[in-house]
Homo-oligomer: A and B are copies of this chain.
């Protein structure tokens, strides 16, 4: 523990965004310094070194001013988000120096976190540490809660996943296959479609950008209709899915990434089908399910170690690549779970 100040590079939002975000909406701040200890008298706090930072679609909402679903980022301050960090100093009873944890931190080299909202100690280190931004962190819990708790899936059911090669989709698809479902995913490039079919074991996959008529495409892959839709994109895709849902179908509304950068969201026209087909569409956030995390780990760790579930990450090096990395989610340039490597230990 040292009183010495070290430099603390940060990624900050420069201005609130409407429409599609640009790199120039963010800035790298290199002039700040930080003492690597919890300030005297500050209780329940940890001073952490950020190792991996997670790029997540919901962060787009925090780049807008005003009262969206999440609080907006503070201008000129480091972005906040999920990450994996090492505890350098602690006045928090649950953490000591040297511990590893994942949870809510800042887009900077070091963060002082007082009264952590979401911080979970990492107990298993025989898996890649970066997985705690993905399959073993928030996206993993999102897939787990969304599929098992929201979709109430049964063996043999027809499951469709959009944005299926992303941080959450790839896990949901593998969960569904392990349960014995028929699983189709869509994504936005040939490379991703190949991953879905050849790496993640989906039954079928297609490139939605090559389908002029999404309703017809889904009809082709699901001649008997869709029981479960894991919704990551919204808009036109949701309309096409509703037209193809079966009676008593379930839609886990995890995200609607196609809409976040539109100044006015697309209209969805087929909602009367929710009535006639008795569909349940349910929004959810992983944060409401973290009490299930131990149960989740118990299930998923053996699968990972046995190679029954694989996970594809898309890593970028350094905080400097933060803005490009975050934006890649919205252009679909990421392949798999996008994350920043800030430091390796």
A266 close to B269 (CB less than 8 A): yes
The interface centre, meaning the residue of A68, A264, A282 with most chain B CB atoms within 10 A of its CB, is: A282
A327 within 8 A of B: no
Which stretch (A10-18, A97-105, A186-194, A253-261) binds chain B?
A253-261
Q: Which of A247-281 contact B (CB under 8 A)?
A: 253-256, 259-260, 264-281
Q: How large is the interface on A (under 10, 10 to 19, 20 to 34, 35 or more residues)?
A: 35 or more
A272 close to B70 (CB less than 8 A): no
Residue of B at shortest CB range from A254? B275
A69 close to B269 (CB less than 8 A): no
Find chain B residues with CB under 8 A from A125 CB. Answer: none
A234 within 8 A of B: yes
- Given A272-B234, A275-B253, A266 and B267 touching (CB < 8 A)? yes
What is the 8 Å Cβ interface bit string for chain A, positions 266-306, against chain B (1 contact, 0 not)? 11111111111111111111001000000000000000000
- Which positions in A face B, CB cutoff 8 Å? 61, 68-70, 234, 238, 253-256, 259-260, 264-285, 288
Find chain B residues with CB under 8 A from A70 CB. Answer: 276
Q: Could you list 6 examples of A-B contacts with CB < 8 Å? A: A61-B276, A256-B271, A268-B271, A277-B283, A279-B282, A280-B280
Find chain B residues with CB under 8 A from A266 CB. Answer: 267, 269
Find chain B residues with CB under 8 A from A283 CB. Answer: 273-280
CB distance from A335 to the nearest CB of B (A): 24
Q: Of B238, B259, B270, B280, which is within 8 A of A282 by CB?
A: B280
Residue of B at shortest CB range from A272? B256
